Amino acid sequence: MSRTLVVAGNGMVGHRLVETLRAGDPGGTWRVVVHAEENRAAYDRVALSSYVDTWDPARLTLAGSDYAGDELVELRLGDPVTGIDTERRTIVTAGGERPYDALVLATGSRPFVPPVPGHDLPGCFVYRTIEDLDAIRAAAERARAVNGRPAAMVVGGGLLGLEAAKALRDMGLSPHVVEMAPRLMPLQVDEGGGALLRRLVAELDVTVHAGTSTEEISTDGERMLARLGNGTELDVDLVVFSAGVRPRDELARAGGLAVAERGGVLVDGACRTSAADVYAIGECAAVEGRCYGLVAPGYSMAELVATRLLGGRDTFPGADLSTKLKLLGVDVASFGDAHATTEGALEVVFNDAMSGTYKKLVVSENGTGSATLLGGVLVGDVGDYDLLRPLVGRKLPAEPAAILAPSDGGGVGVEALPDAAQICSCNAVTKGAITGAILTEGCDTVGKLRSCTRAGTGCGSCVPMLSKLLDSCGVEQSTAVCEHFGQSRAELFEIIQATRIGTFSELISRYGTGQGCAICKPAVASILATLGNGHILGGEQATLQDTNDRFLANMQRNGTYSVVPRVPGGEITPDRLMVIARVAQDFGLYTKITGGQRIDLFGATVDQLPHIWKRLVEAGMESGHAYGKALRTVKSCVGSTWCRYGVQDSVGMAIELELRYRGLRSPHKIKAGVSGCARECAEARGKDFGVIATENGWNLYVGGNGGMLPRHAELLVSDVDDEKLIRIIDRFLMFYVRTADRLQRTASWIEELEGGLDHLRAVIVDDSLGICEDLEAAMAKHVENYTDEWRGVLEDPEKLERFASFVNAPGAPDPSISFRTEREQRVPVLLGVPEVVSR
């Protein structure tokens, strides 16, 4: 019979405990009951600031946190443990008492709010949960309705404070950050790094007040007045306290458990409390008197306790307090003894204020000319973090100065790391474990390594190291398009552009082998189309296309096709709406408004497509390329034309961009959005490129997408005017089209670029390769040569012959296609699929 484990708390650490225990207990030794304080399953609190990008809490939910289908885990949401009796081995909740065989306290921490007069006024918030951000958002919207662009104050300039400042800025507020220490992030960076960090943050519309405190907060009409210790007075609309956290140990105190001198449930190296069979993990636990405020040590505690519950004898291995973050767009990292507190420690510093780079290594001299790495601080450029952090406590492979500023562009290589070096701190995966998986388990891709070792499945910062380890183990990561071409897609693009080859047959005869396949043919067809090689159904090109491109429409599951006319920016006249309505009515098509602000017409047979297109083209509409690897839509909000919050004409910009880039054939589909203000109604940061209006112009974000692996776009440039915005997007799209792999979205393309977003910015903004003029010329050629593909078919009798259900009986209906009526529209009848009753 299963024993009962009660888990008090359902945060990230509590979830990791349950996840680890269930994975190691297939026989069901333990039945787990999880009591959650919040009314939602465990979510990624580390990524809380990203909630502002979508306001979709589901994006933060941890995989498997609802424990659906696991009969041995019971999740009680909104039912926290309120009392414990360790002698009777019972807990108390709103539902009464219940017994336990083992109890784990995973109650986390609470925000620390300094006892400042006025801290409890309406308009004062903490920054800890999804509900906190919802409340801040509501207050910001109220303030914006009154004051236009409201201001906010963040009390605390540490990690959480800068995260809060970013969230407030993304909501359209002007943040002030107040920090008592003389610099931002005082626990992580030193004076030199803090000075650069402050300058970089200030350039991003965040005002920093360091070396002072908040003395008082009072109401001032509809706003608030914050008086600082240095005499400064700030008129703000809301205040966010993000000045650190305190362990939630009140449950343990009330139950008579021992607590640490400075708070936290006192536990030993096995995470055991002073009561039998009661454990504490995460931020509420004080391991031998010390609390840890990072998720990685919490995960280690969770896995340790899971092992102990199953009979193991593990002890807490200590905590890696290294951090690598992007705060307000600024990269910051620290590791080991960052402040040189070790006796005899020496500091080696590289500070380049012009490029915005600060690097410091803390070392101890070994007496033989070599140095042992003790720690370091990186601001602005954190590219060496993944290689340096595992070397802490080990001899450096080169002189510290040469590592910080290598004259040959080299530095520390992955080969210098010992097998015991920890590559993934979230899941405690060593280099030896990863190379073992490569050499003995046959893991030859990053994806396989993540599945096998769990490295890279936490924060993801170690993923680039996985690729480097594959290379170091001699695993060649092929970039070939397919078995018929040894070249990558980018190399084929360069070949076709340089040789002016115009057909697939000539290309494969000169540079490939065999007859080609369903992989290389559409890829080459896309390149030929990008380089202006005529209509995609012209001549040999027609045979290269996949199913959708072959008929310029999306095939549906019953063999019919959908038609999607272009609606630039979502703006459409009543006359054209009526044409779409009449076409749908006359041809009996199912109609649906898409998520990209267009109207989709479903159920057209192949022979009907030209007739439908003709009606739409005559009304001034054209192909929306819903079938192609090309620009799909540029979604927009109504912008400053209608919205009281709008600061720029987002509709006009969306239309200009969509008409400019329509028909651009690319490695994968491209989606875009333009929002007229920071409220982000067009969801621009979930697009391949997204534009958000500011009072000074436009911010451009790149590399976002939805789908199976959602990504948020990252800021490329800010506050640019119309001309510069379009010029940079021209360069971005053409550089992507030329260099991305087959079927590679912009998000993964940027992720795999050597140097990532920084390299991309250097190439297309700073013109580091000297190719921007060429990229702009290529886009200008595309714009000049654009023609509508639907019209191209209608004007060519030879192409029209392709659109018949049966070659020997043109116009005959396809007997395999039938429909039924649901919600007053025709939907397909599918063989073998039971009919659904209309609702």
**Residue positions in the annotated binding site for siroheme?**
681
Q: Do 532 and 782 contact (CB within 8 A), yes or no?
A: yes
CA-nearest of 202, 199, 145 to 175 is 202
Instruction: List binding-site positions for [4Fe-4S] cluster.
Output: 637, 643, 677, 681
Count how many Cα atoms sit within 13 Å of the Cα of residue 464 in the half-sphere of its side chain: 16
Residue type at 588 in one-letter notation: G
Measured CA angle at 783 (ends 782, 788), to 5 deg: 90
Picking from 549, 632, 561, the residue whose alpha carbon sits closest to that of residue 602 is 561
Burial annotation 46-84 (CB, 10 A radius, 16+ → b, else e): bebbbbbbbeeeebbebebbebeeeebbebbeebbbeeb
What is d(CA 736, CA 667) in angstroms, rounded to the nearest whole number?
A: 8
CA distances from 696 to 200, 639, 684, 693 (A): 19, 15, 18, 8
Contacts of 303 (CB under 8 A, 6+ apart): 16, 17, 20, 428
- Beta carbons of 209 and 228 less than 8 angstroms apart: yes
To which H or E segment does residue 305 belong? helix 295-309
Spatial distance between the Cα atoms of 717 and 719, rounded to a whole number of angstroms: 7
What backbone phi and psi angles, to 5 degrees, belong to 125? -135, 165
Helix (H, G, I), strand (E, B) or coil at 74: strand
Please report, in range form, the residues annotated as the binding site.
Answer: 637, 643, 677, 681
Two tokens, residue 318: 């200590």
Q: Which DSSP helix (H) or strand (E) runs through 432?
A: helix 431-440
Show Cβ contacts of residue 751 under 8 Å, excluding neighbours closer than 6 positions. Answer: 463, 703
Give, to the nearest 10 degrees, the angle between helix 159-170 and helix 130-147: 50
Copy the structure tokens of residue 523: 């890829």
CA angle 824, 637, 61 (to 5 degrees): 80
Give me the torsion for CA of 569, 574, 575, 576, rounded to 10°: 30
| Adjacency order of strands within the sheet including 290-291 | 265-267, 285-287, 290-291
SS3 at position 466: helix
Q: Of 335, 330, 391, which is closest to residue 360 (Cα–Cα)?
A: 335
- Tokens standing for 707? 């789908």
Q: Are residues 643 and 651 in contact, defined by beta-carbon separation less than 8 angstroms?
A: no
Task: Identify which of 46, 19, 48, 24 has the alpha carbon closest to the alpha carbon of residue 34.
Answer: 19
Closest to 35 measured CA to CA, from 106, 102, 88: 106
